[in-house]
Chains A and B, each alone.
Chain A
Amino acid sequence: MPSTPYLIAVLSIVFTITLALRAVPFAVLGRLRDSAVVRRLAVWMPVGILAILAVTALHGTITKDSHGTWYALLAVAATVVVHLAFRRRTILSVGAGTTLYVVLLNSL
């Protein structure tokens, strides 16, 4: 298990950087607002970052149980279908996808 000082160091780093990232823009808002690069990145980034997180999470799941690769892909597809079919209810879609994966992985 990692040592407590290490964990506390991580926590303080996380706290400082996260708060700074949220606070600094308010201080320099005027200058940033005029930058075309910043405005474009603001529009372009969120979808991509979320997609990257989804793929790395999927990759992690597959690496952990490689025989479940097809179940994982199937469960992702099910999550998407449920999400689009039932008007984007996050808890329902995530629950359905996860249940399908857990059941497939443990019973087959």
Chain B
Amino acid sequence: MQAGLPWWLAPALSLSAFAGSLELLLVGMMASVTPLAAVALTVLVVNFRHVFYAFNFPLHLVKQPAAKVYAVYAMIDEAYAVNASLPEHERSAPRLLAMQIACETYWVGGGLLGVALGAALPAPVKGLEFALCALFTVLTLDAFCSRKELPSLLLAGASVTIALFLTPAVAMFTVLLLFVGLLLARHFATARKAADA
């Protein structure tokens, strides 16, 4: 609420998006009244990774239709990560749903607690927004430790540098499009090499 938005927006955003990194980006975009088309494209690009989660998410375990819909809606990074690391015989529908509901309660509750704390503090603590940067740094580190994808990291670094210098106003946009473009180029380069060999 340091961004000058109404209090109900935190829980509403947590419920409608239910994706941490995106919500934090959206707060900034809404505070500066970004055009809706730009918001839509950002959501599409940032959350595009969820498309890939379907590959090893144990949705087939959930039989009840309403529960199935909920399981898809609540398929966040954490739910995916925890389930992907569970051995096959320990997975079950009740366990999956209980875990997702716990995640959501914690998330929405945390958002409300943040609003309350923010209102109670006499002045905004300067520099607290660094927590976001630290969190992403840690997540990057974790992702890199489990999958040593150095080329991706370098391509991402190149994209972000170029975007910040050339189009600082819409950096997030440019960087994600650039990154996906570079990955596609890498894909076709790899495919050609494989065809030559």
Chain A residues with a Cβ under 8 A of chain B: 1-2, 4, 6-7, 9-15, 17-19, 21-26, 29, 32-33, 36-38, 40-61, 64-65, 68, 72, 75-76, 79-80, 83-84, 88, 90, 93-94, 97-98, 101-102, 105-106
B9 neighbours in A (Cβ, 8 Å): 7
Q: Give A42's nearest chain B residue, CB to CB.
A: B52
Complex contact B30–A55 (CB within 8 A): no
Complex contact A18–B43 (CB within 8 A): yes
Complex contact B16–A12 (CB within 8 A): yes
Kindly identify, within residues 127 to 143 of chain B, every residue whose CB is under 8 Å from any CB belonging to chain A.
127-143
Q: What is the 8 Å Cβ interface bit string for chain B, positions 154-190, against chain A (1 contact, 0 not)?
A: 0111011000100000011001100110011011001
Partner of B53, one of A19, A22, A48, A54: A22
A65 neighbours in B (Cβ, 8 Å): 126-127
Complex contact A18–B17 (CB within 8 A): yes
Q: How many chain B residues have a CB neighbour from A under 8 Å?
A: 81
Complex contact B143–A97 (CB within 8 A): no
B6 neighbours in A (Cβ, 8 Å): 1, 4, 7
B92 interface residue per 8 A CB criterion: no
C-alpha gap A9/B37 in the complex (Å): 11
Complex contact A102–B18 (CB within 8 A): no
Complex contact B47–A21 (CB within 8 A): yes
The 9 closest A-B pairs by CB, nearest first: A48-B156, A25-B54, A54-B136, A42-B52, A57-B133, A15-B16, A97-B134, A105-B127, A101-B130
B4 neighbours in A (Cβ, 8 Å): 1
Pick from A22, A56, A105 the residue with the most CB of B within 10 Å. A22
Complex contact B33–A2 (CB within 8 A): yes
Complex contact A50–B127 (CB within 8 A): no
Given contacts A10-B36, A37-B184, contact A98 B16 (CB under 8 A): no
B190 neighbours in A (Cβ, 8 Å): 40
A-B residue pairs in contact (CB < 8 Å), sample of 22:
A9-B36, A10-B30, A13-B36, A25-B55, A26-B72, A37-B187, A38-B51, A40-B187, A41-B183, A41-B187, A44-B183, A45-B183, A46-B49, A49-B49, A50-B143, A51-B157, A52-B159, A55-B156, A55-B164, A61-B130, A94-B131, A94-B138
Partner of A21, one of B51, B131, B191: B51
B192 neighbours in A (Cβ, 8 Å): none
Complex contact B72–A48 (CB within 8 A): no
C-alpha gap A84/B138 in the complex (Å): 9
Complex contact A56–B134 (CB within 8 A): no
Complex contact A29–B136 (CB within 8 A): no
Complex contact B54–A26 (CB within 8 A): yes
C-alpha gap A105/B129 in the complex (Å): 12
Complex contact A75–B130 (CB within 8 A): yes
B99 interface residue per 8 A CB criterion: no
Q: What is the 8 Å Cβ interface bit string for chain B, positions 4-17, against chain A (1 contact, 0 not)?
A: 11100100110011
